[in-house]
Each structure stands twice: as structure tokens, then as C-alpha cells.
């Protein structure tokens, strides 16, 4: 499917298949097309090309109210003139559901989101997290085939975001409902999703499980967008057994991958996969090692962030557990090791 605004292709020839009961996340920076893609599924934006189907049923030709989707918006979109119960019941009344069924279904869904005693309260009496639960309940009560969530946690503080993402995931698994979730927050996507689609400029960069997106990024963009990484460029100097030897300045790295001698490549090495070696300590079997000058050190309690200079202008970021800055500074030069299997090589 595609969706254009004038000459801008906000969604550019995207093909996806989302499984029944899956929690699927659209992830990417602002302006990459993820919200536009979600809105086309909901029916709030028309397709320029392509089709959308729920099972065998084509739904992109139907108006939004006939698609049987529920959408949770970033700003909650709660009616201030209706009580909590009135907000949740709104969609059922619009569908002319009998009053007895409305009461039963509203009571049931309010229990699901832990707001069973809040039915008579007004929106201004609720916290941000409670308002978000009302928005979710209003969607769930109509029993949608697909639940759509557009950055629903972005207006909450950091602690409440963590609590709410766990609640949303637990609720989705409990109901076995298909959910499509939009966010620009990588940690949120990794914590909640069965699969993630990383988007860039209207296109899909990679679709995979969270662990595969993080540990085996398909492109340099995905490697840099998903957390922190060292993205280095070098030249293949040959092979060492099964591994490539990649020269970066005066330093050589071994990496699992395929490329020809003399070929220019880039590679991703995550900070947490680099292990600092103590004086006289040898690296594990099969690991590569190097020495570097100590750069900046940032102590963050459990984690210490370190920069190691391996050339005139090449810095490696390292994240180590339970390391004290004073111990590092006393050494001067630092020995470190890495597992070549944890390096992802990109050709071209």
C-alpha cells in the first residue's frame, strides 16, 4: 500500500502481514510514516494504492465505523462532558446496542482496566494514567478485531509509562486481541512487541522480532536507531579462519560476515558487548582484543559509560556494569575484548 500527500509519499509501497493475536509495533523517527500507516488502517486516511484486509475481508473500501477497529489516540480524546462510564459506553450507544448489554459490557471492561469503581467520575477527576485506561476501555468495549494505538503513552511521565506499557501488554495477551502500536520509543517497542517494523521515510527498513532487530539489524540505520551502537567504517584486509579481518585506521577487527578482500564495509558493535580486561587478563577463546587510550568516563551507578580512543579520530563507546571510574583512570591504557559473532557487517 501507498499513501501520498501531493508529491510526498508518506507511506511508500509497504507490504505487511500481521498475525492474529499479535502485538505488532510500527517504530521510527518523527515523519517516517508510521502514524499515516496506522490512520489508513483505521480509515482516517485514504490509500493512494494497494489494499488492506482483515483475513479475507477487504476493509480499505469501508468507512471507519464499519471496519471494526478501536483506536487509542495520543491525546486520549476523552469527552469532558461525559462520565467515565459514559465515555466507555459511547461506541455501544452509537451502534444501538441494548441498554442492558451496554451496562454489562461497560462494567466488564472497566474491571479489565482496573477502573471498576470509577464509572461515575468525571474526566477532570482522573490522572493521566487513568485517562489512558478510559481511552483503552472505550476501544475494547466494542470488541474490535484490531486495536490501534497511536503513541498512547507519550504524554505520561517516565515511571507511569513503564507501568502502563506492562498493563497494555498484559491486557492484549489476556484478550488475545490483534494490536498495532505506533511509537518512536525504542525501549517501549522492545519491551512490548511480538514483532517490530522499523520505518524510515515511508519505507520498511526491517520487520523482525525485537531481539533480532537489536542483535541482527538489517541496515546501518536500524543499528543506530535501535539503542546505542558503534558504527565504524573500514576495509576488508582478508580472513582469519571463518571471520573477516576489517581494518579501521591502524586497528583491526574480526567479524562474522561476507565480503571480499579490499571491499569497503561498515559494521555495528554494541557498547555492552565490549568487555574490559583487567591487567594480565586474556580474552575468551575466539574473541578479538585491542588496546586503547581511555577517553571520557561517565559513572551512572550500575552502568559506567566509557569512551576508548583506538585511533587519531576513532572513539569506541563501552557500557560496563559495576566499574568505578577511579580504577579505570589509574590504568591509562585499557585492554578490551569483543565477540566477533556480535558484530554485524554491512556491505556497501
Tell me, yes or no, whether 176 and 203 share the same domain: yes
Q: CB within 8 A of 86, min separation 6: which ones?
A: 79
Q: Is residue 147 within 8 Å of residue 139, measured between CB atoms?
A: yes
Tell me, yes or no, whether 262 and 168 share the same domain: no
Tell whether the model's pLDDT for residue 344 goes beyond 90: yes
pLDDT at position 300, please? Answer: 92
Helices 84-94, 99-112: axis angle to 10 degrees equals 130
Tell me, yes or no, whether 160 and 297 share the same domain: no
Q: What is the CATH number of the domain that holds 312?
A: 2.40.50.100
Tell me, yes or no, whether 213 and 329 share the same domain: no
pLDDT at position 242, please? Answer: 84
The boundaries of the domain holding residue 315 are 230-347
Q: pTM here? A: 0.91
Cell, residue 88: 466507555
Domain-terminating residue out of 164, 191, 221? 221
Q: Tell me which residue has cell 476501555.
A: 137
pLDDT digits (tens, 9 = 90+) for 36-74: 999 999 999 999 999 999 999 999 999 998 999 999 988
Tell me, yes or no, whether 201 and 248 share the same domain: no
Residue 28's pLDDT band (boundaries 50, 70, 90)? very high
**Euclidean distance between CA atoms 173 and 155, whole angstroms:** 24
pLDDT digits (tens, 9 = 90+) for 146-199: 999 999 998 888 888 898 899 999 999 999 999 999 999 999 999 999 999 999
Tell whether the model's pLDDT for residue 100 goes beyond 90: yes
Domain-terminating residue out of 170, 193, 221? 221
Residue 270's pLDDT band (boundaries 50, 70, 90)? very high
* Listed range (88-97, 270-279, 282-291, 305-314) with the worst mean pLDDT: 305-314
Amino acid at each position: 500500500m501507498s499513501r501520498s500527500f501531493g508529491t510526498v509519499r508518506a507511506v511508500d509501497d509497504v507490504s505487511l502481514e500481521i498475525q492474529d493475536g499479535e502485538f505488532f509495533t510500527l517504530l521510527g523517527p518523527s515523519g517516517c510514516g508510521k502514524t499515516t500507516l496506522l490512520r489508513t488502517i483505521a480509515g482516517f486516511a485514504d490509500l493512494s494504492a494497494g489494499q488492506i484486509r482483515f483475513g479475507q475481508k477487504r476493509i480499505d473500501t469501508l468507512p471507519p465505523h464499519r471496519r471494526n477497529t478501536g483506536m487509542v489516540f495520543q491525546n486520549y480524546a476523552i469527552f469532558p462532558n461525559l462520565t467515565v462510564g459514559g465515555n466507555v459506553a459511547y461506541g455501544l450507544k452509537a451502534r444501538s446496542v441494548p441498554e442492558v448489554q451496554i451496562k454489562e459490557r461497560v462494567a466488564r471492561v472497566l474491571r479489565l482496566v482496573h477502573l471498576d469503581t470509577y464509572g461515575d467520575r468525571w474526566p477532570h477527576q482522573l490522572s493521566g494514567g487513568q485517562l489512558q485506561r478510559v481511552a483503552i476501555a472505550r476501544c475494547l468495549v466494542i470488541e474490535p478485531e484490531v486495536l490501534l494505538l497511536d503513541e498512547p503513552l507519550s504524554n505520561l511521565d517516565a515511571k507511569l509509562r513503564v507501568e502502563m506499557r506492562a498493563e497494555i501488554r498484559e491486557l492484549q495477551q489476556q484478550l488475545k486481541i490483534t494490536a498495532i502500536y505506533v511509537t518512536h520509543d525504542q525501549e517501549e517497542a522492545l519491551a512490548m512487541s511480538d514483532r517490530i517494523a522499523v520505518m524510515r521515510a515511508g519505507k520498511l527498513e526491517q520487520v523482525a522480532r525485537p531481539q533480532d532487530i537489536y542483535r541482527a539489524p538489517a541496515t546501518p540505520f536500524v543499528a543506530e536507531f535501535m539503542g546505542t551502537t558503534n558504527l565504524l567504517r573500514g576495509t576488508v584486509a582478508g580472513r582469519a579462519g571463518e571471520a573477516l579481518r576489517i581494518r579501521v585506521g591502524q586497528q583491526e577487527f574480526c567479524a562474522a560476515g561476507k565480503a571480499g578482500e579490499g571491499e569497503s564495509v561498515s559494521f555495528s558493535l554494541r557498547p555492552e558487548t565490549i568487555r574490559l580486561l583487567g591487567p594480565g587478563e586474556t580474552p575468551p577463546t575466539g574473541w578479538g582484543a585491542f588496546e586503547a587510550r581511555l577517553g571520557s568516563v561517565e559513572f551512572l551507578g550500575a552502568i559506567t559509560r566509557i569512551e576508548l580512543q583506538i585511533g587519531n579520530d576513532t572513539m569506541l563507546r563501552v557500557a560496563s556494569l559495576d566499574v568505578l571510574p577511579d580504577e579505570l583512570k589509574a590504568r591509562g591504557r585499557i585492554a578490551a575484548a569483543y565477540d566477533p559473532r556480535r558484530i554485524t557487517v554491512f556491505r556497501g
